[in-house]
Amino acid sequence: MTIHLAKMRMGMSQMISVITKQSMLIQQDQDVVPFRNRVKECAVKLKMGLVNQTKLITAASELVRNMLKYGRGGQVVIEAVSKRNQFGVRLIFIDKGPGIPDIALAMKDGYSTGKSLGLGLPGTKRLVNEFDIESAVGVGTKVSIIKWCNG
């Protein structure tokens, strides 16, 4: 338990170097597919396997949809990153929407304020290796995820 907590606390800030970085504005539904294609290109360059690629792009799709539906659109940063000898893709979703009042609740399977399935956030967390969410009411929401090539 102690070890587990220590690991969690180290989080993703630990010695991650950014290899490439690009950013994209997301403002409408039509931006989703081109964005997914960019993520795929990045993953392919790092020779990420097909299953991990699929998990990453699906997670990306969920978060970008949330950003459009609840956050009035925003910005995504797509990065190829490395940590020790691992390579992976990091995505950072930033919106200036209403924010999430109760993150723990929003992370629960089945919780939705949009009459939807409520599995975007918890499902995304399961699909990636590192998941970080910060949100402030009235300010916006920032979600960062990393999928490691061998993760």
Ligand X SMILES: Nc1ncnc2c1ncn2[C@@H]1O[C@H](COP(=O)(O)OP(=O)(O)OP(=O)(O)O)[C@@H](O)[C@H]1O
Chain residues that interact with other proteins, rule: CB under 8 A:
29-30, 32-33, 36, 50-51, 53-55, 57-58, 61-62, 65, 109, 116-117, 119-120, 122-124, 126-127
Taking CB under 6 A as the binding criterion, the range among 4-12, 25-33, 78-86, 108-116 that sits at the site for ligand X is 108-116
* CB-CB contact of 10 with 17 (8 Å): no
Of 81, 82, 63, which Cα lies nearest the Cα of 73?
63
The token pair that represents 53 in the structure block: 């690629």
Taking CB under 6 A as the binding criterion, the range among 16-24, 32-40, 53-61, 107-115 that sits at the site for ligand X is 107-115
Taking CB under 6 A as the binding criterion, the range among 32-40, 47-55, 63-71, 81-89 that sits at the site for ligand X is 63-71
Q: Is 141 an interacting residue with respect to ligand X (CB under 6 A)?
A: yes
Nearer of residues 39 and 106 to ligand X, judged by Cβ? 106
Write b or e for each residue in 100-114: b if 16 or more Cβ atoms lie within 10 A of its Cβ, otherwise e: beeeeebbeeebeee
Q: Nearest approach, Cβ of 136 to other proteins (angstroms)? A: 25
Nearer of residues 53 and 135 to ligand X, judged by Cβ? 135
As to burial, measured by CB atoms within 10 angstroms (0-12 exposed, 13-18 middle, 19+ buried), residue 1 is exposed
The token pair that represents 23 in the structure block: 């950013």
* CB-CB contact of 109 with 48 (8 Å): no
Nearer of residues 81 and 142 to Mg ion, judged by Cβ? 142
